[in-house]
Structure 1
Amino acid sequence: MTKKIAWITDSTAYIPDDLKNNPDVYVIPLGIVFGNNVFDDGIDLTTEELYRRIREEKDIPKTSQPPIGKFAELFEKLSIDYDCAIAIHVSDKLSGTLACCTSASDSVPLRVEVIDSKSMSYAITTLLYKGIELAEQGIDCKDIAVKLRQEADKSENYIVLGSLEQFYKGGRMTGTQYLLGSLLRIKPIIRINSGGAFELFERVRSEKKAYLRMIELFKHAYHQNNIKQLQIMHGNVRNKAEAFKQDLLSQFPGLDIVIGEISSAIAVHAGEGTLAVIWHNEEK
């Protein structure tokens, strides 16, 4: 008999409606910190409210990992109805969320397989979909986890930041990189590398050139791999995402492209105006 699996992730993941409505999917929110106030991402603070506060207030907000107690409480609850759980989280190089999940799982009766996505946003979504598909085939929880850890290495992403200042103040880039980018009006292309950490991938002179460069990078990957879908994630710039989608479709007619918005936990660091592309490289 197929074992019942609970799927757990955090609020950096993009959760479309079908996953929101899946009774076996649970999302643990990160905290958004404004001064002495902590808001649960996606629950107490919408992205619209976040952007408004950033525009109107001087202090740049920060994020905080979920407390271990939230994980432990959820695991205790899930142990009643589930045989095991698979938790897929934001890269442990970017947040302590995965470490908190692992610590909590050590003290509960539920078997929990914890997976480092080595990324965030739709890269996590892809792993959730793949895991659920494997579960529907009757594959064991442990074997699914092994497969998903392998799949995590196949994600590729490139990001054009909406705010260098927020990225710098959030500790995601050095003062020298920030100064150069500001003075020279450079638009850096950032990526989450294979180790799961942010890195400066390339410097370009304008946003337009950055978008063209991302199309070039996708074109190279597209010819080398089997890519079923591309995701465009944005920070309150749906019009730019739609325009970028049309630019891609002009070169890749029929390509399945999903547009989604980055979560507040990501927007705190990346800023309003951010645009990112994510895809999953499968062998041909």
Structure 2
Amino acid sequence: MKQRIAWITDSTAVVPDELREKYDIHVVPLDVIFEDGAYADGIQLSSSELYEKIDHSKTVPKTSQPAIGKFVELYEQLAEDYDCAIAIHLSSQLSGTYNTSKSAAAMSEFPVEFVDSQIVSYPITTLLLKGISLAEQGMDYREIAATLREEASKNENYIVIGKLSQLHKGGRLSNAQLIVGTLLQIKPIFCIRNGVVELFEKVRTEGKAFRRIMDQLDLARGIHKISQVEILHGNVMDKALELKETIKSKYQDIEVLVYPLSPVLGVHGGQGTIALTWTNEPKSS
């Protein structure tokens, strides 16, 4: 008999309402903490509301993983209707969410397989959809999780930081770095490798930064099969759509999805941030 598998993730993933309803995906929110209290990511605080609050705040808010009780309650509820579950969370190197979820499953004695996505945002959704597809083919939930752990290493991503002032406000840039960076129009490009944020390169001007990440897409395209790319943005839909058009004009066969960064990710990336991400699949022989 086909296993009844529950799917769990956290609010850093991009899970549109239609996907949640179709596949009954359970999303546990992280919190964004301002001086006036904590807000559940994506529930009590939208991406656009986040940046407005930051503009009127003296300090950048902090973020917090979900309390273990939220996961315990969820797993106890799921145990009533499902045989098992697969939980796919943001990188364990960036948040304690993965380990908290794992501890909660042990407490509830509900069989859950865990996948460390080693990433954030839409790539988590990609893993969820691949897992659901494998489940529909009748694969055992343990085998699905093992497959998804291998798939997680295929992601490639580049993040162009928006406002240096937000990094400065959050204590991640000194006064001198802010002044020099602003005067020289420096745009740092970051990437997430093996679950850790790394500086990929510093370039002058935003235009050069976008050309640089397009170079990386071109390079990857020459080696791998890439059928879809995702653009995540920090409240700059116009720039995201412009980048989409650039990609579509060059690669008509690549599907380009555009989504906002979740509020939790917006806290760390800042308004104006653009991320480009894709999965490197092997080319057919």
Classify the TM-score, shorter chain.
Answer: over 0.9
- Contact 2:59/2:170 (<8 A) preserved: no
Which amino acid in 1 is paired with 2:112? V
Aligned residue in 2 for 1:210: 209
Find the aligned partners of 2:227 and 2:206 in 1 and give their Cα distance: 26
Aligned residue in 2 for 1:18: 18
Aligned residue in 1 for 2:51: 51
Find the aligned partners of 2:231 and 2:63 in 1 and give their Cα distance: 23
Aligned residue in 2 for 1:184: 184
Find the aligned partners of 2:36 and 2:164 in 1 and give their Cα distance: 24
Which amino acid in 2 is paired with 1:8? I
Aligned residue in 1 for 2:142: 142
Deviation of the 1:152 alpha carbon: 0.3
- Contact 2:227/2:253 (<8 A) preserved: no
Aligned residue in 2 for 1:265: 264
Aligned residue in 1 for 2:251: 252
Q: Taking every aligned residue pair, what percent have the same amino acid on both sides?
A: 49
* TM-score normalised per structure 2: 0.94
Find the aligned partners of 2:98 and 2:178 in 1 and give their Cα distance: 28
Deviation of the 1:22 alpha carbon: 2.7
Deviations 1:135-155 (A, max 9, x none): 000000000000000000001
SS at match of 1:95: coil
Q: Does 69-78 or 11-20 show the bigger shift?
A: 11-20
SS at match of 1:244: helix
1:1-12 paired onto structure 2 within 5 Å:
1-12=1-12
Aligned residue in 2 for 1:275: 274
Aligned residue in 1 for 2:109: 109
Find the aligned partners of 1:172 and 1:30 in 2 and give their Cα distance: 21
Deviations 1:197-217 (A, max 9, x none): 101001110100000111110
Runs of 4+ in structure 1 off by over 2 angstroms are: 163-185
* TM-score normalised per structure 1: 0.94
- Contact 1:172/1:198 (<8 A) preserved: no
Deviation of the 1:165 alpha carbon: 3.9
Find the aligned partners of 1:130 and 1:273 in 2 and give their Cα distance: 30
Q: Provide closer, same or farther for how the CA distance between residues 177 and 65 of structure 1 changes in structure 2, counting only shifts above 3 A.
A: farther
Find the aligned partners of 1:227 and 1:220 in 2 and give their Cα distance: 11
Aligned residue in 2 for 1:242: 241
Q: CA RMSD in A?
A: 1.8
- Contact 1:105/1:111 (<8 A) preserved: yes
Find the aligned partners of 2:33 and 2:247 in 1 and give their Cα distance: 37
Deviation of the 1:100 alpha carbon: 0.6
Deviation of the 1:26 alpha carbon: 0.3
- Contact 2:226/2:254 (<8 A) preserved: no
Aligned residue in 1 for 2:67: 67
Deviation of the 1:92 alpha carbon: 0.8
Q: Gaps (5+ residues) in structure 1? A: none
- Contact 2:163/2:272 (<8 A) preserved: yes
The count of aligned residue pairs is: 283
Find the aligned partners of 1:142 and 1:187 in 2 and give their Cα distance: 42
